[in-house]
Amino acid sequence: MPSFSRPRFGFGSRSPHGREPNDRDVEPDVPRVETVRHGGLRWHHLERTGRAEIEWLEERFDFHSLAYEDVRSRNQRPKVDDYDDHLFVVLHFPDFDKAIGRLNAIELDVFVGPDYVITIPNRPLRTLDYLFSRVERDEVERERIFSKGSGYLLYRLVDECVDASFPMLRKIGNKLEQLEEDIFEGRSKEIAREISNAKQEIINFRKIVRPQRTALKDLDVSRRYMAEDAELYFDDVNDASERIWDMLENFKEVSEALEDSNESVLSHAQAHSLNVLTAITVIVLPLTLVASIWGMNVHVPGQGQSAPFFALLGAMGALLGAMVWWFRRNDLL
């Protein structure tokens, strides 16, 4: 890759530790950027990707125009662009949107240099905000993370965002277990839609995780700005990513099996209903035939006499009882 100039810093006077002073006004022309630094390492966190934030970046960093184009588009696949003097990383992380009740992907763009890390999520990423707040408030935590360089800070960002998937996966696993119990408790009709929603949730999760596995492996291969004794950290991230993928594969198989089981239970119930209706039809048919014969508008034996009438009713009752007994004996009723 061609070499690009190093970043230009023009921050003015700032405190030696903690957050850089920033106007938190919501006016669109005021960049919403927070910065934490320790020693020579800075973490710049852009809360949004508006025009003011992009201008703030362009004034201070000479990144490639393609990287800025990727930041503006906010619709990139996970990837790692390895330039001579910095990394540009695009990652996607799942986030459950309670307002619409479904999983969405949050895109996180990260610039990493020898003495800076810049994070740019397209929407608020709670795990990232929590880590930023921790290093901002806790000087010990800030020193522990920042003292190991920008590569280690990148690892902590990625590792915590990847690990945030496990609680969501546990909820999906618990939901599948509950659906399995509901199927065999006779709630097959009610949970058909819930099984479909669970399958869709797993599919959305897989769409987010699958392309990211390659990007995380590229980070593992690169290991830029990592100390020699910390090279195994991204191996841990890849292991976590593979565990997530294995769990999703398992959930996919379980959800498909639950759907098949639910359909089987519904089909069995439907077949039982058809058996009952068929049995009733077969039982009633000979009785209807007898009643039709004796109800014809012609002379029949016993016509006008009460004894044959009651004898005929008795014969029809006996026939009814015999047929019901036969159907029950053969589990058809």
- Residue 6 located in a structural domain: no
Residues 220 and 312 in one domain: no
Quote the pTM value: 0.72
- Residue 3 located in a structural domain: no
Domain boundary among the residues 266, 301, 320 is at 266
Beta bridge partners, 104, equal 95
- Which token pair is 20? 């850089």
Rounded distance between C-alpha atoms, residue 242 and residue 210, angstroms: 10
Domain boundary among the residues 242, 266, 290 is at 266
Provide the number of structural domains found in the chain: 2
Residue 305 has φ and ψ, to the nearest 5°, of -120, 145
Beta bridge partners, 33, equal 46
| E strand residue ranges, the chain | 18-19, 33-38, 41-46, 79-82, 87-97, 102-113, 116-121
Residues 215 and 105 in one domain: yes
Give 309 or 175, the one with higher predicted confidence.
Answer: 175
In CATH, what number is assigned to the domain containing residue 122? 3.30.460.20
pLDDT for 288 equals 80
The model's pLDDT over 140-166, given as tens digits with 9 standing for 90+, comes to 999 998 988 888 899 899 999 999 999
The model's pLDDT over 203-233, given as tens digits with 9 standing for 90+, comes to 999 999 998 888 888 877 666 677 665 567 8
Domain holding 105, by residue range, is 18-266
